[in-house]
Structures are given as C-alpha cells and as structure tokens.
Amino acid sequence: MGDLVRVRVLAGGAALATLGAGLGIRAIGSGDLVKYAGDALYTVLIVALVVLVAPRVRPTVAAGVALGFSCGMELFQLTGVPAELAARSTMARLVFGTTFNAPDLFWYAIGAAVGWAGHRAVCARSDERRQAFGTVS
C-alpha cells in the first residue's frame, strides 16, 4: 500500500475513532469534564480530517489549521447564527455549538497538540519504514 493511501486510511480511522469517542463521552457523561473533552476531541477530529484531505500536510500545519478552524467556530458563536441553526438541527449544534465560551479556546489548543502528536508519530513511523526499506537516502 502506498504511503499516501496508508496515511489516508489511518486518518480516516482516526477521524471515525475520534467521532465515536466524542459522541460516546457525551452519551455516558455530563458536566465540565465531558464538555471540555469534547472540545479537545473536536479539534483532534479536524486534524484527522485535514490529514485525510491533504495526506502530505506537515503535523504543525495540520494542527494549526485545526486550531484556527476550531477557534473560528468558537468566535462565530458570538454572532448568534450557530445558536439559531442549532435550534433547527442537532447536527448543526454538534458542528457549530451554540454559545461562546472562552475556556473552549484552551481545550481546542489541547486537542491540536494531541492531534499534532498523533500525526507526528505516524510521520515518524513512516520515515522509519522508508529508511528500513532503503527508499530514503
């Protein structure tokens, strides 16, 4: 399997696992711990989706894009549009949220760091594989 296909398969699996973890944690718990874990997982999911779309993206860029997107969504909540959309759709509520909450920005950064670390580990493993098979000079 080619490296790009392998990265996409791993990113897709990571996205599905992250989505499952986020929905699962919301289903079994409540309170601040669940809310902030969900915020971090939201950004991890975005990292995985960035890698899925652009498998050659560097970990720092993927994490930066995900952090920027997540923070942008949080700031978008200041407009009131997400709350209006969320009133009509559960999916919109999950994607956009409803109200601005400044601590969420911190948890998005945590999620970006976790996503960066996971992506970096996959990149390092891929580099090791190429070196072992003599495809990197």
Cβ atoms of residues 77 and 102 within 8 Å: no
Residue that wins the pLDDT comparison between 3 and 128: 3
**pLDDT tens-place string over residues 64-84:** 999 999 999 999 999 999 999
pLDDT tens digits for range 32-42: 999 999 999 99
- Classify residue 18 as left (phi > 0), alpha (psi -120 to 50) or beta: alpha
pTM of the model: 0.86
CA angle, residues 93, 89, 68, in degrees to nearest 5: 35
Q: How many CB atoms lie within 10 A of CB 76?
A: 14
- Write down the pLDDT at residue 130: 64
